[in-house]
Homo-oligomer: A and B are copies of this chain.
Amino acid sequence: MDLFYVLLVLLVVTRAFAEVAERLAQPALVGELIAGIALGAVVASFPGTFPALSGLGDNEVFITVTDLGMFFLMLFAGVEMQPHKIFERSAGSLVVALGGMVVPLGLGMALGWMFLPESDLRLAQCLFLGVALAITAVPATVRILTDLGQLNSKIGQTIVSAAVFDDILSLMLLAWLTGIIGAAEPPGLAEFAVLSGKIVLFFAVTAFIGLFVFPWGGRFMHRLRVPELEMSAVLVGAFAFAVLAEMLGLHFIVGAFMAGLYFGQKTITAESHERVRQAISAMTFGFLAPIFFASIGFNLDFAPIAEAPLFLALLILFAFLGKIAGAGAGARLFGFSPGESAAIGVGMSPRGAVELVIAGIALKAGLFADGTGVVTQLFSAVILMSVVTTVVSPIILKRVFGSAGKTGNGGGIWFPE
């Protein structure tokens, strides 16, 4: 791969589209997503003209760059958020997450039941549609809330922590689902218990390390002499949590987020915290995140629009409806106003990055092999839905939050306005 050429083109195009989005009073993320879709369409339309840019979606090096983008985005979210507020809201967030998972899961399975032809894989395909609607793309949500200056508001904290719960529950479902596809008989309660045990273990281990080892490390660090050690220390913690998450069957983004969360101002000095926060912010929002978000729309296949228009339309409709009804109902229970509850539902609607991971796993497991009718369009339809929800949600949220917190993160420091 012509690394620097690819990075140059992607960074220029995404930042230009992001600037246009900002001028149209939309979050920068919307521009970056559309930049990726546009670039992907141009490259696909002129095959051979941009050899370095075609096939990027399957390029191991490019995937590493976008993985690092996801990693830093989640680390930033953890560092930026105040953990005690997250934990204070955890009961409410759990209810929001459950509502925001069960309703879309049911809607997705019902949609599959209506449209998918009879086959051995039909149950698994229906469950896949359910999971595809149940998840929330935490990195996209974090970016939207950061762009809107709402990451640390009551609504923002509820959305992010519910989204994290949501993804953990969805990943459990996904593990069960891939078990169904592969095995002769579906995995039973025992396997589900093991999976749950691993997740509990992950949170117990990270809590122990975060609460006891991190503060000790912070005090120890003051006696060390290596330059730029604070950044190394944060990254070592985040890499370790990411590895642990992957070992225990979770996505690495959960590890990066938890590491950032425990890396509070009590762990190191406020000055170190601010330095690290600024460096991660610059590297994430100025470099890796735009490239990561562009990659989401890069390999879009528009065939479902012509081949399965009704199915696609219902899928997108249910994607919003499920979250607004499910997560919104949970939020109402915990005292949010109807407007705020709807906003929380919309805020949990983006399926962006995580959907690509889940759909990719299902594709590799052979869920769409030998399909007929709508099944041939299932993969592309789900990807289209994930991009549409990720592009539309911030546009709706921007209207909801109005003009509060206009500029993105860090922007205030050097825009003279």
Check if A414 sits within 8 Å of B224, measured CB to CB: no
- Minimal beta-carbon separation of A116 from chain B (angstroms): 36
Check if B19 sits within 8 Å of A235, measured CB to CB: no
Q: Considering only CB atoms, which chain B residue lies closest to A146 in the complex?
A: B227
Across-interface contacts of A414 in B (CB, < 8 A): 222, 230, 269, 271-272, 275
Residue in A65, A226, A269, A286 whose Cβ sees the most chain B Cβ within 10 Å: A226
**A40 an interface residue at 8 Å Cβ cutoff?**
no
Mask: chain A, 400-411; 1 = CB below 8 Å from B; 0 = not: 000000011111
CB < 8 Å neighbour of A227 from B269, B279, B285: B285
Mask: chain A, 207-247; 1 = CB below 8 Å from B; 0 = not: 00000000000000010111111111001100110110010
Check if B222 sits within 8 Å of A409, measured CB to CB: no
Mask: chain A, 27-42; 1 = CB below 8 Å from B; 0 = not: 0100000000000000
Q: A286-B235, A414-B271, A414-B275 are in contact. Are A15 and B229 (CB under 8 A)?
A: yes
Stretch of A4-12, A97-105, A120-128 lying at the B interface:
A4-12
Across-interface contacts of A71 in B (CB, < 8 A): 4
Check if A225 sits within 8 Å of B415, measured CB to CB: yes
- Minimal beta-carbon separation of A129 from chain B (angstroms): 30
Q: A15-B236, A275-B278, A276-B282 are in contact. Are A416 and B222 (CB under 8 A)?
A: yes
- Minimal beta-carbon separation of A350 from chain B (angstroms): 18
| Chain A interface residue number, banded | 35 or more
Residue in A22, A286, A407 whose Cβ sees the most chain B Cβ within 10 Å: A286
Docked complex: A102-124 residues within 8 A CB-CB of B: none
Across-interface contacts of A68 in B (CB, < 8 A): 3
Check if A231 sits within 8 Å of B283, measured CB to CB: yes
Copies of this chain, whole number: 2
A239 to B61, CA, bound (A): 17
- Minimal beta-carbon separation of A278 from chain B (angstroms): 6
A275 to B146, CA, bound (A): 19
CB < 8 Å neighbour of A7 from B239, B278, B279: B239
A29 to B145, CA, bound (A): 40
A64 to B7, CA, bound (A): 12
Docked complex: A271-299 residues within 8 A CB-CB of B: 271-272, 275-276, 278-279, 281-287, 290
Check if A12 sits within 8 Å of B407, measured CB to CB: no
A64 to B278, CA, bound (A): 24
**A252 an interface residue at 8 Å Cβ cutoff?**
yes
Check if A290 sits within 8 Å of B23, measured CB to CB: no
Check if B67 sits within 8 Å of A3, measured CB to CB: yes
Docked complex: A30-57 residues within 8 A CB-CB of B: none
Docked complex: A142-194 residues within 8 A CB-CB of B: 146-147
CB < 8 Å neighbour of A252 from B4, B224, B243: B4
Across-interface contacts of A8 in B (CB, < 8 A): 236, 239-240, 243
Across-interface contacts of A227 in B (CB, < 8 A): 28, 146-147, 285-286, 407-411
Across-interface contacts of A3 in B (CB, < 8 A): 64, 67-68
Partner-B contacts on A (CB < 8 A): 1-5, 7-8, 11-12, 15, 18-19, 22-23, 28, 60-61, 64-65, 67-68, 71, 146-147, 222, 224-232, 235-236, 239-240, 242-243, 246, 252, 269, 271-272, 275-276, 278-279, 281-287, 290, 407-411, 413-416
* Smallest CB-CB A-B distances: 4 pairs: A231-B286, A227-B408, A228-B286, A279-B282
